[in-house]
Structure 1
Amino acid sequence: MAVLITGGLGHVGSWVAQMLASQGKKVIICDMAAKHFDTLGLDYLEAVRDKLVLEAVDVLDYHTLFETLLTYRDELEGVIHGVSVIAGPSFQQRPFRNISVNTLGTLNVYETCRILGINKVVNMSSGAVYGDAAGPQHETTPYKATDLYGATKISGELFGDQYTETYGMDIRHARLFFVYGPGKRPSHMHQVYQALFGPLEGLSDVQAPNGRDQALDWTHVHDTARGIVLLFEKASVQARHFNISCGVTVDHQAIVDEVERLLGKSSNMQLGPGPFVVRGSPLDISLARDELGFTPTYTDIRQGLESYRDWLDQSP
């Protein structure tokens, strides 16, 4: 059997693909970057390359999406939907495009799966659905959109729940939080991420405009991907929404300081006042632990930083 992953060359999606392919599964990756796979530096996918099928698909191109899923329908266990424009300062600069990708793109996946009889879908959602509600945030914490990104993630969950109720589908939502680690270079990310993790890559003197007065639930990408795989592979679930995160809050300045201690030198990273994004923290992961057997490995930020540094040192 096979699994199809939209956004399978993204930071989280690529590790989900790696884990599933390492189990011997055929993984169909639908990603706009598929034509440029060899230039992406995803070295951890090389060992499972023979298990991967790459398809250049835009989730907003409904016809191509439909044709692609139709091609592989008879061998699919299900679909993991990971295409999303991530939260950050630039999201609101192109609202129509970004909202369209996150909402219409998700709806296109649900509708295509409905028509083709592919019932099992795991949707990569976000802890942004809780907005600035005080942590720890449980799956029963009410929805609260405090930005456009959060609103798109709430809509994706609501659409999924209604498709499940109306059409008997099995759509599950993994509420992810702030992800870091191998597979994404800090230099390719926003300034706050660069200030936190950039010295591991050799960056210095980054002056981020905000983020100093915040503590968030930063989750290593291996833990994030493993939680998604567990959710996908669970034969049946009682709940529909699962927090997948580290479950531990860490202060941003503490990350800057820990990176300096790890490297044994100062990189002159500066975080400006105020929060990076308006979020509460941490997510409560007891439901994922109890129902899925999910236990994050990297609850100690130093251990996660060491893993990130090692990948950055070794990756091309």
Structure 2
Amino acid sequence: MSVLITGGLGHVGSWVAYQLAKQGKQVIICDMAAGHFDRLGLDYLEEVRDKLVLEAVDVLDYHSMFELFRRHQDELEGVIHGVSVIAGPTFQQRPFKNISINAMGTLNVLEICRILGINKVVNMSSGAVYGDAPGPQSEATPYKATDLYGATKVAGELYGLQYSDTYGMDVRNARLFFVYGPGKRPSHMHMVYQGLFGPLEGLDDIQAPNGAEQALDWTHVHDTAAGIVKLFQKDSVVQRNFNISSGVSVDHLQIVEHVAEITGKRANVKLGPGPFVVRGAPLDISLAQQELGFTPRFTDIREGIRDYWQWLKSNAN
């Protein structure tokens, strides 16, 4: 049997693909970047390349998506939906496009799965569905969208829950939070991410406009992917929404200090006042621990930073 992952070449999706492929699964990756896979620098996927089927298709192209899913429907045990424009300061600059990808893309996947009888779907959602509610937020914390990105994630979850209730599908929402680690270079990310992790890549003189007065629940990408895989592979679940994160809140300025200690070099990093995005932290992960057996490895962010640094050094080119 196979698993189809939309956004399977993204930061989280690529590690989900890796972990499933290492278990011997065939993984069908549906990602616009599939046509230039060899230039993405995802060295870990080369290790499992024989288990991957790469398909370049736009999640908003309903007809092409439908044909792709139909070609593979007889071999699929389910779909993991990961295509998403991430939260950040630029999300609201192109609202129609970004909202369409996040919300309509999710609806396209659910509708295609309904028609083709593909019942199991794991939707990569976000702790943004809690908005600015103070942490720790459990899955019982009410929805509260405080920005456009959060609104798209609330919409995607509600689509999934209603498809489950109306059509008897098994749609599960993995609520992810702030992710760091191998597979994504700090230089390709927003300024606050560069300020926190950029010196691991050798970046210096980083001036971020905000983020100094905040502590967030940063999760190593290996842990994020492991939680999604556990949610997908669980035969049945009592709940349908699960927080997947480290469950630990870390002050941003402390992360800057940890990076300096680990690299042995203090870069010129300045984070401006205020939060990066208004979120409470940490997420309460007790439900995922109890029902899924999810145990994040990198709860001490210093260990995660060391692992990230080693990957960046080994992929310096």
Which consecutive unaligned segments of at least 5 residues does structure 2 have? none
Structure 2: distance between partners of 1:102 and 1:256: 31
Counterpart of 1:13 in structure 2 is 13
Counterpart of 2:175 in structure 1 is 175
Structure 2: distance between partners of 1:311 and 1:119: 37
Q: Deviations 1:49-79 (Å, cap 9, x if unpaired)?
A: 0000000010000000000000000000000
Structure 2: distance between partners of 1:224 and 1:264: 28
Matching residue's letter, 2:310: D
Structure 1: distance between partners of 2:94 and 2:157: 22
Corresponding residue SS for 2:48: helix
Aligned counterparts, 1:1-316, within 5 A: 1-315=1-315, 316=317
Corresponding residue SS for 1:33: helix
Query: How much has 1:92 moved relative to structure 2?
Result: 0.2
Matching residue's letter, 1:237: V
Q: Deviations 1:69-123 (Å, cap 9, x if unpaired)?
A: 0000000000000000000000000000000000000000000000000000000
Query: How much has 1:264 moved relative to structure 2?
Result: 1.2
Matching residue's letter, 2:57: V
Matching residue's letter, 1:56: A
Query: How much has 1:286 moved relative to structure 2?
Result: 0.2
Q: Deviations 1:199-228 (Å, cap 9, x if unpaired)?
A: 000000100000000000000000000000
Query: How much has 1:149 moved relative to structure 2?
Result: 0.2
Structure 2: distance between partners of 1:2 and 1:106: 20
Which consecutive unaligned segments of at least 5 residues does structure 1 have? none
Structure 2: distance between partners of 1:90 and 1:44: 29
Structure 2: distance between partners of 1:242 and 1:263: 35
Query: Structure 1-normalised TM-score?
Result: 1.00
Which piece of structure 1 moves more, 257-266 or 148-157? 257-266
Query: Structure 2-normalised TM-score?
Result: 0.99
Matching residue's letter, 1:259: V
Structure 1: distance between partners of 2:301 and 2:155: 32
Q: Percent identity?
A: 76
Structure 2: distance between partners of 1:119 and 1:301: 36
Q: Deviations 1:231-254 (Å, cap 9, x if unpaired)?
A: 000000000000000000000000
Instruction: Kindly report structure 1 stretches of 4+ aligned residues shifted beyond 2 Å.
Output: none
Structure 1: distance between partners of 2:242 and 2:62: 28
Structure 1: distance between partners of 2:78 and 2:258: 40
Structure 2: distance between partners of 1:263 and 1:28: 38
Structure 2: distance between partners of 1:40 and 1:124: 22
Matching residue's letter, 1:253: L
* Equivalences, count: 316
Query: How much has 1:263 moved relative to structure 2?
Result: 1.1
Query: How much has 1:265 moved relative to structure 2?
Result: 1.5
Structure 2: distance between partners of 1:299 and 1:165: 35
Structure 1: distance between partners of 2:57 and 2:178: 26
Structure 2: distance between partners of 1:139 and 1:221: 21
Q: Deviations 1:231-287 (Å, cap 9, x if unpaired)?
A: 000000000000000000000000001100111121011000000001000000000
